[in-house]
A = this chain, B = another copy of it.
């Protein structure tokens, strides 16, 4: 049952893993500038202003248990960034909406996303375009846009 060795794939894997761990170290400190954890940062990133999401949608997107979302949203709500609202269609559901404060913070966060976290500047423009194309396929966004 010996797998065929693919040195390039193996190397790519290791680099991606390293990339993941490098990000894993830096993303939390980046997020901390906004007083957020990296998960809270992700949640805020997912929430479009004026487009409330059911809690269950969040659990799906984050691939985590629903009980987890409860605490996550508790903390964001305690800070006044989001609010739970009843869903008229199904009274079991609660939808999550950005508050004005949350929308402002999200905006600030997105504006900072052009900047510093990764030395993207070390890539030439055409390389950056190639990277974008590959990443789109890797994260499964190839078709959607």
Contact = CB atoms under 8 A, between A and B. Distances in A.
Contact of A63 (B15, B25, B135): B25
12 contacts: A8-B128, A8-B129, A12-B135, A13-B114, A15-B136, A15-B141, A16-B135, A18-B139, A20-B23, A20-B24, A22-B139, A22-B140
Contacts of A62: 25
A20 B15 contact: no
A62 B11 CA distance: 21
Given A119-B138, A122-B138, A132 B18 contact: no
Contacts of A3: 111, 114-115
Interface of A is mostly: helix
A5 interface: yes
A78 interface: no
Interface in A24-68: 24-25, 27, 42, 45, 62-63
